[in-house]
Amino acid sequence: MLRKDLLIDKTRNLLGEFLDPMLGQLDKPRQRFLRQTIRAILFSGSLVVMELCKWVRDKCSDPFYKDKRLLNNMVSPRADLGMAVTAYRRSLNRYIQPQTPFAIDLTDLAKPRARKMKYLALVRDGSEGNLVTGYWCIEVYAHLKGKRVLPLALDVYSIDDPAVGSENKQIERVVDAINTDLQGNGVWVADRGFDRLELYEMWLSRNCHFVVRQRGNRAVITHQGVRVILKDYVETLAQHNARQGQCSNIVFARVHLPDYAKSLYVVASWLPGHDEPLILLTTLVVETLDQARNILRYYKKRWICEEAGQFLKSRVGLERFRVRRYVAIQRLAILGMLAMGFLSWILLRSRDLTKRLFSLTSRFRKDVIFKYYRLLDGIQQFVRLNPNEFVIPPPDIQKNG
């Protein structure tokens, strides 16, 4: 009994601590909506509104009206979550350092059978490799020590939406919002899809640090003033090192982009079993082999986008929503991000609660490297064992909700 009460109290207290900065930006009906939906997403592992209703316990006993109330909040202009997301990111500022990696990527939300959803456009389905209808989503995660991940953005958009304009402009909006909320801290880490001159112009104009994988066909200016193609240049650097008797599979040099005087650095590495080099372009200073290895470590942390995205799709249901309204889809993605943010909050704030929740999971989960699966399993297992006590909010929340 003591163990059960301790878990309930700790989880409620941490959830209140996590939500407090966001609730201050909302009126009372929206405060109740946010509290109920974050809990329901964690307990159900779903973004389907009817599934969420099963985990909303309040004075309303009719599922129809619960469903209607949640759907109204998904589309109401008064339920905009922009200020809540800003407060969420600012509450995380204490954990973000100037050198914290920010992994940014684009993921697809494929809806191949959809016909009447607003602003449906073609996206590339990452699992099937073909073009289907759906939406794009910009995802950004801060990578902390111990594989702890802070989701900073899940921005769903469609190229057919007139307000978007272009993909580059949408990425710029997300980057600007995060830069403002986190005071310009962080190092942006991206794959080849972000090897675009427009994005370099954006980051350089805002004095942001970045590490971006290159396609290899970009022209740069060497420190001797020679214009070269990156792929050819790193091959030349490797041949020069070989003549000098240096056996390292890593090369680096200072360069800059045409029409931009700011110094950049190229780092290339030949991985075992690969003929093509991994080429990175960065604003971080690289003058030694150790600094070059550090840039490669930055890029490896970009993989957290793939792990976090897979977790959100498989365990939170990021692709399995069943609403048609464009704004409702965007808000569901934000709520999914905040649910994952609470799991990160547990990892950051309470080692004891983390261990207790881990102890409730299957022994087959113990070897899972990405901790969020075990943590969510622990919460859901505990709720299944104690559904009434855990779901019903405490008296002060019922009174104010």
**CA–CA dist 218, 310 (Å, integer):** 31
Amino acid at 196: R
Mean pLDDT to the nearest integer, 15-27: 94
217 pLDDT above the threshold of 70: yes
Query: How far is the C-alpha of 69 from the C-alpha of 53, rounded, in Å?
Result: 10
Check: CB of residue 34 under 8 Å from CB of residue 22. yes
d(CA 109, CA 136): 6
Given a contact cutoff of 8 angstroms between Cβ atoms, the answer to whether 280 and 266 are in contact is yes
Query: Nearest 10 degrees: CA dihedral of 203, 300, 252, 234?
Result: -100
Q: What is the DSSP string of 167-182?
A: HHHHHHHHHHHHHHHT
Q: What is the mean pLDDT of residues 200-225?
A: 95
Q: What is the model's pLDDT at position 390? A: 53
Say how many CA atoms lie within 13 Å of 3 toward its Cβ: 7
Model pLDDT for residues 60-71, shown as the tens digit of each residue: 778 888 888 889
Mapping DSSP to helix (H, G, I), strand (E, B) and coil, where does residue 225 land?
coil
Let me know: does 341 contact 308? Beta carbons within 8 Å.
Answer: no
CA distances from 99 to 168, 176, 186 (A): 24, 18, 5
pLDDT, tens digit, 9 for 90 and up, residues 286-320: 999 999 999 999 999 999 999 999 999 999 999 88
Mean pLDDT of 35-57: 91
Six token digits for residue 355: 């261990």
Distance CA 101, CA 249 (A): 24
Q: Which of 13-27, 60-74, 255-269, 353-367 has the lowest mean pLDDT?
A: 353-367
- How far, in Å, CA of 158 to CA of 170, rounded? 10
Q: 334-369: per-residue pLDDT in tens?
A: 999 999 999 999 999 999 999 989 888 876 666 677
Q: Is 131 helix (H, G, I), strand (E, B) or coil?
A: strand
- Total-model pTM: 0.92
CA-wise closest residue to 106 among 180, 160, 184, 174: 174
Q: How far apart are CA 12 and CA 1, in angstroms?
A: 17
Single out the residue of 143, 140, 146 nearest to residue 101, CA to CA.
Answer: 143
370-388 pLDDT tens trace: 889 999 999 999 888 877 6
Question: CA-to-CA distance for 265 and 6, rounded, in angstroms?
Answer: 52
Average of per-residue pLDDT values in the chain: 90
pLDDT tier at 57, thresholds 50, 70, 90: confident
Q: Determine the 3-state secondary structure of 53 from DSSP.
A: helix
3-class SS at 290?
A: helix
> How many Å apart are CA 19 and CA 91, to the nearest integer?
10
Q: Other C-beta atoms within 10 Å of 90: how many? A: 14
For the chain, the first-to-last Cα distance in angstroms comes to 28
